[in-house]
Structure 1
Amino acid sequence: MLLGAGPLAWAEQEASGRGADAGGITGELVRQVAEQDPRMQDFYALRDYRPAWQDADAVAAFTSALHTLESDGLHPQDYCPDELRNRHRAVYEDGADVEAQAQYDLFATRQLLMALDHLQRGKVDPEALDTGWEVPVSPPEFSLATVSGAVDQQRFEALISEVRPGFVPYQRLRSGLARYRNIEKLGGWPRLPERQQALRPGDVDEDVPLLRERLAVIGELEILIADNDVFPGGELVAPDPRRYDASLEAAVKRFQRRHLLEADGIVGRQTLAALNVPVERRIDQIRLNMERARWLLHGLPESFVLVDIAGYRLSYYRPDGQIWRSRIVVGRPYRRTPSLRSEITHLTVNPTWTIPPTIKREDVLPKVRQDLGYLWRERIQVLSPSGTPLDPWEIDWDNPGNIVLRQAPGPQNALGQLVIRFPNDHMVYLHDTPAQDLFSREQRAFSSGCIRVENIRELGQLLLDDTHSDHDVEGRIDSGETQNVRLANRMPIIIHYWTVNPGEDGELSFRPDIYERDDDLLRALDRPLVL
């Protein structure tokens, strides 16, 4: 392009050497692209404003490739494959003018870029569903030059594969989606009848064969020829298929663990409800959790801390390739732990705890009004907003005003003896806790939003060691002093909500939707796009 010449003037100059047809569509594209968003402008500028979709074979290859998005839980029809084919025939076979041809070219390109966007970073805007969403990191932009080349070479399936998230959990979810869809095609699994009494190991019951079939469908139980019972005389007899035997008990316990249920082998109300969730619902769960993965798990660093809210666990992916895992306690449904992405900056040993306003109002003040001795037992100091100590006996606890309640450091502090901190707008952090018994529960939504971590001292020391920070956590705690210990290098942390998690063996774990977020996301994911 000549220096100082606009795109339309340049296109006209190019057209003079190409013939009327090429110049017409090129000039018309320049005119229409000028009204498009910057990325569309960049795409066509890379192509010297050549049309991308004149070839019917290219459109056919593109629309065929769109159907592969079904394996990612997206709806191919969102990207108008039928309209793309029909409009191409109408524009090129019926001899439409260059204005219509250029309009079609822009339409097809928008569908391609939108499909790639949705595949890479998600169809649904997470902030529209969750006002607490805090993820400042955006996925990297895919190369428009690569997209343009793929269009010219009709390499659409390869392009989709290149843009598709490459992290292992996403690939496992994708494989799981294919597996559960195959189960659906084969008829799904049987529904167990509602029961008044729980089904227990050792029972002989008419529902046992159905339970065995249900677990066999998803691979929890292999249907084998069982060892025959032997009478004293040596006669072989087939076992009673209605007997709830040890192999079935082991399969039920595996199922319960994968659904965060108490692994007692008893098919009670909760286990029966989980068994009777239809395969179609499980497919939807996998799809919407693939969408969550597209939102967040992009550009992962080599080392990071991953907090799985609905799964009640924390995984630290260390620089040496090892993974440190721990159980966690997260926020109650009415005090939800937020989804966010940040970086751990420092630890606080022997922390004080300034009681947040909501907890003060809803939890602490009612107890203080009943018994002022609660303050002394919990080692809570009453302060003015400027930090001046106040006499609790002089406070009108029915109308205490703008006071600050702060718990002294020590083993009984609500934060325990260690806090791991990272900047965020929600004032949440990882911390120790004196309530260690909560970690033994299968479902652990008991906190006020922050995340309690089992064995957090070990995690704190690993973070210091792996970031080349020369500090001893235990020694700092033993000092009894409240201290901030900075990491020499920040450590990324991701806190997110998954109700389906793929294990390293590829098996999917389905979790209760403790924050009731799945249905809203599914409706948004399935909502047709408005063009």
Structure 2
Amino acid sequence: MNKLYFFLVICIFVGCKKDAPKIVPVVKKTAPAIILTDERKVDIDTAFIGTFKSETLKQFYNSSENKTVWGDLKKRTYVLSQLENSEKLGLNPEDYKASRLKKFESKVTKLSDTELATYDILLTYNFEKYLNHLYKGKLDPKKLYRDWDLEEKTFDVNNVLIKAFNKNKLDSIVDNIQSKSHTYKQLLKALEIINSFPDDDVKNIDALSKITLRDTNSALINIKKRLLFWKDMNGRDSLTKIYDQKTFESVKEFQARHGLASDGVIGPGTISALNYSKEKRKQQIIANIERWRWFTTDLAENYFIINIPDYSLNVVENQDTVLTRNIVVGTSKRKTPIITSTLKTVVFNPTWTVPPTILKEDVVPAMKRNRNYLANKNITIYDSAGKVVDPSAWNENKPGNYRYIQSPGFNNSLGLMKILFPNNHSVYLHDTNHRNYFGRNNRSLSSGCVRVENPLELAEHILDNSERYSKEKIDTIIASKKTTSAKITKKYSLYQWYWTAWSEKNQLIFRADIYNLDSDLYAKLRN
């Protein structure tokens, strides 16, 4: 028996040993070796490389056995040209020491070994910084904003650079690593367009009241100058104080480019847009270029893309926009978050649970004034045990002890449906009981979620099941007032993003910076 017991112990010990996790060695990714040519090269002091505190730089020169690599004039010229002209891509040449590098190049044949090594390291360090900025932006959105949930973009700059270096294809590297998205290209075009405008010196426009067709107003002189400058008005103009038909049509064109109501009425919104200088618009474009570098480089095959300041949602399938919807987004105090996610579920006849912020800022003050406030909105109060609480018994000093749920229906705050997707902000797309909002020009009105116009047609399209979710079947589900969930089987990504400038057909397009992000971002970029 003792022998049998000993045998079992040994078996158990061996068995546990087999189940123990194996220690997998961490393989350090190394860059390919750099192919050196016969030009002048010198050894580099590794201690000097260490002063840059860059692991990437250290690995780069490990690949050249710590020898200088930029002996080829053609390669140096390409790098220097890119850094000097980085402004065309919205970057600042002096972020990459362009002037200092140019001075090194002007006396390259007379440089000592130490100076040559310094020049070589500075070329590599600043070109890699430039490539990183082109691929994923200069700034980190997670350090700037709490409500921006974007996947971190990783970039093996050494691998990309050394491969291009070895194959003598440095001239294609910059184009290859930049975003291929249409909007990003439109932004670069917008920067090119605005750089073609002359410097402007038009005075600020002061208009205390609205100006309509046939009015006479001294502010019209400067208004016409601005319209001529931005090429919304063509030819010459007598610059009178009269609001004539030609100016009226030019104002409507200007308003359309800026996402304003294109009615020809010159009000505060139009005056504010007219008062933007060329320099401020250029800064706005550069801020938007930076933002687009934060976004994912490869868009999905099918996706919803929301531009928050444009109040628009586009459904794109196989690079073709198949549906467009007006939307309502969060106010400046309750911003709609920036999110990349995947659509999961359509919920018809949703209930609505009052979220903490709305409870604190809206519901509690209203209930203190009128105990029937929630009942009038078809919202039921539940205690922690799930029992219905009469409004008269509601404890206004402990409002967080209850749940507040609105029943399904046409007047539910979420309307007749919502679309769910994973995120950290408890937001979703949904219908609304304020359907008149879609007729407004400024639609920054929600508490953070995105409200969608005509959502049932959108649901029918993305569910793509004529048997279970045809228009007639959806109407039947809605009529039942029963909460019903439908899984979205076709994969749609969601890009809920923010941009206020681009170009279309060689025209500059702008939108109001509803969350006041542009100026601050530009200042940080140039700090």
TM-score relative to the length of structure 2 = 0.83
> How do residues 93-104 of structure 1 correspond to structure 2 at under 5 angstroms?
93-97=110-114, 102=117, 104=119
Matched, 1:385 2:384: yes
Shift of 1:326: 1.1
Shift of 1:366: 1.6
The residue that corresponds to 2:279 in the other structure is 280
Residue aligned with 2:149, SS: coil
Q: Which moved more, 1:245-254 or 1:363-372?
A: 245-254
Residues 212/86 of structure 1: CA separation in 2 closer, same or farther (3 Å cut): closer
Shift of 1:41: 5.3
Shift of 1:517: 1.5
Matched, 1:170 2:184: yes
AA at the equivalent of 2:315 = Y
Residues 94/66 of structure 1: CA separation in 2 closer, same or farther (3 Å cut): closer
The residue that corresponds to 2:514 in the other structure is 514
The residue that corresponds to 2:81 in the other structure is 64
> How do residues 315-334 of structure 1 correspond to structure 2 at under 5 angstroms?
315-319=314-318, 321-334=320-333
Contact 1:61 1:154 in 2 (8 A): no
The residue that corresponds to 2:8 in the other structure is none
Shift of 1:393: 2.8
Shift of 1:216: 2.9
CA distance in 2, matches of 1:313, 1:40: 43
CA distance in 2, matches of 1:277, 1:32: 45
Residues 408/509 of structure 1: CA separation in 2 closer, same or farther (3 Å cut): same
CA distance in 2, matches of 1:94, 1:367: 77
The residue that corresponds to 1:236 in the other structure is none
1:8-41 Cα deviation digits (max 9, x unpaired)? xxx9xx99xx99x97x728x56995899755445
CA distance in 2, matches of 1:348, 1:25: 66
Shift of 1:521: 0.6
Residues 461/37 of structure 1: CA separation in 2 closer, same or farther (3 Å cut): farther
Shift of 1:88: 6.2
1:105-129 Cα deviation digits (max 9, x unpaired)? 3332221111011011111111121
The residue that corresponds to 1:446 in the other structure is 445
Residues 469/492 of structure 1: CA separation in 2 closer, same or farther (3 Å cut): farther
Residue aligned with 1:490, SS: coil
Shift of 1:59: 2.9
Identity, in percent, stands at: 29
Matched, 1:121 2:136: yes
Unaligned runs of 5+ in 1: 1-5, 226-238
Contact 1:262 1:442 in 2 (8 A): yes
The residue that corresponds to 1:202 in the other structure is 214
Shift of 1:433: 0.3
User: Aligned to 2:43, which of 25, 30, 42?
Assistant: 25
Residues 196/445 of structure 1: CA separation in 2 closer, same or farther (3 Å cut): closer
1:66-123 Cα deviation digits (max 9, x unpaired)? 12221111101100122234456788734335xx655553332221111011011111
Matched, 1:161 2:175: yes
1:237-262 Cα deviation digits (max 9, x unpaired)? xx996543333212212212332333
The residue that corresponds to 1:234 in the other structure is none
Contact 1:331 1:450 in 2 (8 A): yes
Contact 1:418 1:457 in 2 (8 A): yes
CA distance in 1, matches of 2:319, 2:499: 26
CA distance in 1, matches of 2:309, 2:74: 46
> How do residues 342-491 of structure 1 correspond to structure 2 at under 5 angstroms?
342-465=341-464, 471-472=469-470, 473-491=474-492
1:384-407 Cα deviation digits (max 9, x unpaired)? 235333333322224335111111
Residue aligned with 2:414, SS: coil
- RMSD, aligned CA: 3.4
AA at the equivalent of 1:471 = Y
Residue aligned with 2:70, SS: coil
Shift of 1:330: 0.9
Shift of 1:178: 1.5
Residue aligned with 1:120, SS: helix
CA distance in 2, matches of 1:67, 1:86: 12
Shift of 1:474: 3.4
1:187-206 Cα deviation digits (max 9, x unpaired)? 32633642344332123555
AA at the equivalent of 1:510 = F
Shift of 1:449: 0.7
Residues 333/102 of structure 1: CA separation in 2 closer, same or farther (3 Å cut): same
TM-score relative to the length of structure 1 = 0.83
The residue that corresponds to 1:335 in the other structure is 334
Q: Which moved more, 1:506-515 or 1:332-341?
A: 506-515
Shift of 1:166: 2.1
Contact 2:205 2:223 in 1 (8 A): no
Shift of 1:267: 1.9
Q: How many residues align?
A: 492
CA distance in 2, matches of 1:194, 1:240: 16
CA distance in 2, matches of 1:56, 1:257: 50
Contact 2:225 2:239 in 1 (8 A): no
AA at the equivalent of 1:177 = L
Residues 190/155 of structure 1: CA separation in 2 closer, same or farther (3 Å cut): farther
Contact 2:328 2:451 in 1 (8 A): yes
Residues 339/265 of structure 1: CA separation in 2 closer, same or farther (3 Å cut): same
CA distance in 1, matches of 2:80, 2:48: 27
Unaligned runs of 5+ in 2: 1-27
Residue aligned with 1:310, SS: helix
The residue that corresponds to 2:495 in the other structure is 494
Contact 1:44 1:50 in 2 (8 A): yes
Residue aligned with 2:343, SS: strand
CA distance in 1, matches of 2:182, 2:296: 10
